[in-house]
Amino acid sequence: MLVYTIKRFFEMVIVFFLFLVISYLLFNAIPGNAFSSLLLNPLLPPEAYQKTIEAFGLDKPLFERVQLYIINFFKGDFGYSYTYYPRTPIDLIAERLPRTLMLFSIVNVVAFYTGFLVGKILAWRRGSKSETWITIGSVFSYTVFYPWFALMMLWFFGYKMDWFPLGKFLVPEKWYDSPYASDEIFYTLILFTTISSFLLFLVFIFTRNIESLQKRRNARLFGLIILASLATMYWTNGEAALKRFYAADIAYHMILPTFTVTLVAFAGTALLTRTTMMEVLKDDYILTARAKGLSQKRIRDRHAARTALLPVVTSFIFTIITIIDGSVLTESIFSWPGMGQLILEAVVQEDIPLAMATFSFIGILALIAHFIADISYAFLDPRIRIKAEN
């Protein structure tokens, strides 16, 4: 497994180099040589202009420029943003990235999980009325034109019903006298979700060797209760108690975009899970599981769904890349000031350093997501894991 991970890691690094080179060449190929538009950008003071020329080696031949770009990349030096001068792209990304990460990791986890759950139940209840209707609903949300759907959601839940805010990620009025910057709250939120998911993971890992199913369920329940009380304690004591109000504001703004993207994104997973699981249910080992006298739930979850998970994860790996275009669309519609919006702005404003930096970072994100998905796939399928070990 370790060898496999290292191998995949090096593959990832190579792909990343290729990605950097190609994205540089693409930017270079923008008609009229985008770099020359530097000269025309009135926002840029002369000293920054000089620095940029130097930093990017704009007076050098292409090959050296690419080299320089890669070196600069690893130094974290992208020059200056034209539009936000004197802020650097790194600075801007550090501000925006957490917002996008937060929204889209939650959306992806929720969408994958609900999709898998729904698909599993659909396959199990094949032929029932509820199965038919939910399948039709999933096909609709799988094929619907996403921007239209997102706007409809925004119109209905945000405007018509007025349940959710119409966009942005906070209500500015609430933050006027806030002792915290919004980023700080964001980091707290991210840290909190990361740690709680990790602890949750630990609870499941440590209880999986309990032999009696009854005791295992109780142990897990107990673990969840402990975690929940820890979380409550965290938000009611010390500094977090003060941050709570602001964190809640951000969380509230996340609900509608999360819900909308989830609705669209879960359907693909649900439909695929349904089909693969219906195939798996015909397999011989399902009959063995039934003959062993296992409970319906255990046959469904442990035998059928567990095996059906493999192709679903594969397809999920391939859709991870849509996080990028998805984030541009979603963030524009819900005016969520994240990486997607930053890319859009940078491209529209021809802010080349910023655009390149954001692209590279999203590239890294996609690669990392891929990497994680790949590793977990190998973890899920012993046939791959063992092949990888030898």
Partner 1 sequence: MPDLLLEVKNLSMHYDTLDGNVDAVKDISFSVKSGESFGLVGESGCGKTSVAMTLLQLQPDNSVITEGSIKLDGKELIGLSENDLRKVRWDSISIVFQGAMNAWNPVIKIGEQIREAMREHYPENSKQENIEKIDELFKMVGLDGSISERFPHELSGGMKQRAVIALALSCDPKIIIADEPTTALDVVIQDQILNEIKKVQDLLGLSLIYISHDIAVIAEMTDKIAVMYAGSIVEMGPTKDIFENPVHSYTRALLDSTPSIRGEKRKLKSLDGEPPSLINKIDGCSFAPRCPDRETKCNPTEHMRLVEIAPDHFVDICSQGKQ
Judged by the rule CB under 8 A, the positions of this chain that interact with partner 1 are 209, 211-214, 283-285, 287-296, 298, 302-303, 306-307, 310, 380-383, 386
Shorter beta-carbon distance to partner 1: residue 199 or 294 = 294
Shorter beta-carbon distance to partner 1: residue 191 or 213 = 213
Q: How far is the CB of 71 from partner 1 (least distance, A)?
A: 45
Is residue 112 within 8 Å of residue 323, measured between CB atoms?
Answer: no
Distance, in Å, from the CA atom of 297 to the CA atom of 213, rounded to the nearest integer, reads 12
Distance, in Å, from the CA atom of 292 to the CA atom of 271, rounded to the nearest integer, reads 29
Shorter beta-carbon distance to partner 1: residue 191 or 287 = 287
Q: How far is the CB of 216 from partner 1 (least distance, A)?
A: 10
- Which of 118, 111, 160, 135 is closest to 261 using CA atoms? 111
Shorter beta-carbon distance to partner 1: residue 77 or 381 = 381
Q: How far is the CB of 211 from partner 1 (least distance, A)?
A: 4
Shorter beta-carbon distance to partner 1: residue 143 or 296 = 296
* DSSP 8-state code for residue 40: G
The residue type at 224: L
Shorter beta-carbon distance to partner 1: residue 239 or 279 = 279
Shorter beta-carbon distance to partner 1: residue 295 or 322 = 295
What Rg value do the Cα atoms of the chain yield, rounded?
Answer: 24
Distance, in Å, from the CA atom of 299 to the CA atom of 88, rounded to the nearest integer, reads 55
Q: How far is the CB of 383 from partner 1 (least distance, A)?
A: 5
C-alpha 366 chain-centroid distance: 9
The first and second tokens of residue 26, run together, are 């693409």
Q: How far is the CB of 121 from partner 1 (least distance, A)?
A: 18
Q: How far is the CB of 277 from partner 1 (least distance, A)?
A: 14
Q: What angle do CA 8, 338, 345 make, to 5 degrees?
A: 105
Q: How far is the CB of 5 from partner 1 (least distance, A)?
A: 19
**Interacting residues of 102 by C-beta distance below 8 A, sequence separation 6+:** 186, 189, 190, 193, 254
Distance, in Å, from the CA atom of 76 to the CA atom of 390, rounded to the nearest integer, reads 38
Q: How far is the CB of 299 from partner 1 (least distance, A)?
A: 10
Shorter beta-carbon distance to partner 1: residue 227 or 384 = 384
Distance set, CA 239 to CA 173, 187, 188, 231, 367 (Å) = 21, 14, 11, 14, 36
**Interacting residues of 332 by C-beta distance below 8 A, sequence separation 6+:** 340, 341, 344
Is residue 339 within 8 Å of residue 93, measured between CB atoms?
Answer: yes
The residue type at 111: A
Q: How far is the CB of 117 from partner 1 (least distance, A)?
A: 19
Shorter beta-carbon distance to partner 1: residue 307 or 360 = 307
The first and second tokens of residue 9, run together, are 């890691």
Distance set, CA 231 to CA 213, 241, 252 (Å) = 27, 11, 18
